[in-house]
Amino acid sequence: MLSNGKQRGGSAIGLIIMLAVLGYGVFVGIQYVPQYIESNTVDTILDSLADKHRKEPFGDTGARHAAIDNQLYINQMGDMKGNFSVIPSRGSYIVTVRYARELNLLYAKKQIQHEKSVTLD
């Protein structure tokens, strides 16, 4: 028997709400973590291109594209090949990657735009 008419412990409704919030966090996390890893891999590819260019400058635009293709192949990201562009700019080259990913929040789908670049001097 409960003393003074007070309930002790959590209720079933409280437990259900807590599990729903936890489940939603897991649902969003399952989508976000691969996007986070992909974004970091793109950063690594751009850093690798800059390092290679510092050690031994690329001869032409074709060499830059070949280096990008090689990095995408190594990282198993060949589907992103069309997202990279190499643009000459005042004696250097700017390598830019642009892509979008979708994050489903159940109540709305949010487009996350990514744009990163590195200058190869």
> pTM to 2 decimals?
0.78
- Give yes or no for residue 7 having a pLDDT over 80: no
Indicate the pLDDT class of residue 11, thresholds 50, 70 and 90.
Answer: confident
Q: What is the mean pLDDT of residues 36-42?
A: 95
Give exposure, 36-72, as e/b (b: 16+ Cβ within 10 Å): eebeebbeebbebbeebbeeeebeeeeebbebbeebb
Identify the pLDDT of residue 62: 85
Q: Alpha-carbon distance 90 to 80, whole Å?
A: 27
Identify the pLDDT of residue 53: 92
Let me know: does 95 contact 85? Beta carbons within 8 Å.
Answer: yes
Identify the pLDDT of residue 92: 87
Q: Alpha-carbon distance 86 to 101, whole Å?
A: 22
